[in-house]
Structure 1
């Protein structure tokens, strides 16, 4: 069974003082409508720091201001797990969550760019896309996604991301939630039809 989730890389967060966050030293934050308030804070901190590309000094703009005033981007993408084999395909280096819709290319028999270090490998056969965590090592088990099931998987990812937007709307202070959710929705291409 395949699970597909939208994930943000949070391992690059450093001494984030602007709002409460959850633990983030282990890597990815999976987005959904079931996140704790601290996990929403962690996701927004990861987005803000990546968008800002540098630590904001005390006299600089607030991190919430960064999210509202700039094009939002974040390191991350789709995380794919095969529950049966335990194989996991993580978003590679230099892939952004804003490109999650590129996975629709699998429907046309094309492989989306999934990042590097290591670079995941993709192979098409018999109505499935086989994905390996490292394209140089394709002898072991792979995640096999039935192409016919891909729209359902992507629809679930989209609903999870929409659930995250709902949490953002209630998370942000000073009535900023609607604007913040709208900026993330716009730049991560969440609500537009698949």
Structure 2
């Protein structure tokens, strides 16, 4: 069975006290959806803040949640590392987005359907993507090697990608709804602006390109 999640990379929240966060290790994928706990939403927001604002010795720490969110909103774009995670339970294979792959780039997978363009999935390790006729083949690493790894890849029919992306978009919409509630409680004066910016900067609710049929993929 193939399970596809939209994930972001968690931040190091040691000593973070501006709002509650889950006890998650840093630099690990956190799946986004409408099923997250409040503390998981807090961890996701901390990761977004850390990646967007950064940490500079020249800037004093934000004194409260509202101040940190204001700094986020002052940036040109709210961003975080992440993307689509593919997990095949039968093969026990997981393909995570590589380093520096941006969460907002999740829509790049639609290019495989529209023009056969393979998305970039980051590096260290670099996942390998190959388009073979009507099937996408994925490996967790080996992206720059001349030959694919000897392990069996995860295979996804290209015709199933639109359905996968619709499911991913539904999860992002669910996450955005939780953020709206989180912000109304933690930073009420900035709740609407924050929700709207996340929607735009992470490309959540805009229509997906084209109209296709297809369901969730099965592995070949």
2:127 alignment counterpart: 120
Query: 2:110 corresponds to which residue?
Result: 104
| Residue number in structure 1 paired with 2:100 | 94
Give the stretch that moved more between structures: 129-138 or 11-20. Answer: 11-20
- Mapping for residues 175-186 of structure 1, pairs under 5 Å: 175-186=189-200
Tell me which moved more, 141-150 or 119-128: 119-128
1:42-81 residue pairs with structure 2 within 5 A? Answer: 42-54=43-55, 57-58=60-61, 62-70=67-75, 71-81=77-87
Partner of 2:16: 16
Quote how far apart the aligned CAs of 1:133 are: 0.6
Structure with max Cα Rg: 2
- Give the CA deviation at 1:17: 1.8
Aligned to 1:148: 159
Q: 2:205 pairs with 186, 191, 194, which one?
A: 191
Q: Over aligned residues, Cα RMSD in angstroms?
A: 1.8
Determine the structure 1 residue equivalent to 2:216. Answer: none
The alignment partner of 2:156 has SS state of strand
Contact residue 6 and residue 85 of structure 2 kept, 8 A: yes
Distance in 1 (alpha carbons) for counterparts of 2:39 and 2:134? 40
Given that 1:67 and 1:183 are in contact with CA atoms closer than 8 Å, whether structure 2 keeps it comes out as no
Find the aligned partners of 2:62 and 2:47 in 1 and give their Cα distance: 20
* 2:34 is aligned with 1:33: yes
Which residue of structure 1 lines up, in the alignment, with residue 140 of structure 2? 133
User: Deviations for 1:99-156, whole angstroms, at most 9, x for unmatched residues?
Assistant: 1111112213221000011111111224110000112452102111110100000100
Question: For 2:54 and 2:7, how far apart are their aligned partners in 1?
Answer: 19
Q: Structure 1: how far apart are the matches of 2:174 and 2:122?
A: 26
**CA–CA distance in structure 2, aligned partners of residues 139 and 190 of structure 1:** 36
Alignment TM-score, normalising by the size of structure 2: 0.82
Give 1:12 deviation, angstroms: 4.1
SS at match of 2:16: coil
Q: Secondary structure at the match of 2:3?
A: strand
- Corresponding position of 2:215: none
Give the TM-score normalised by structure 1. 0.92
- Aligned pair count? 194
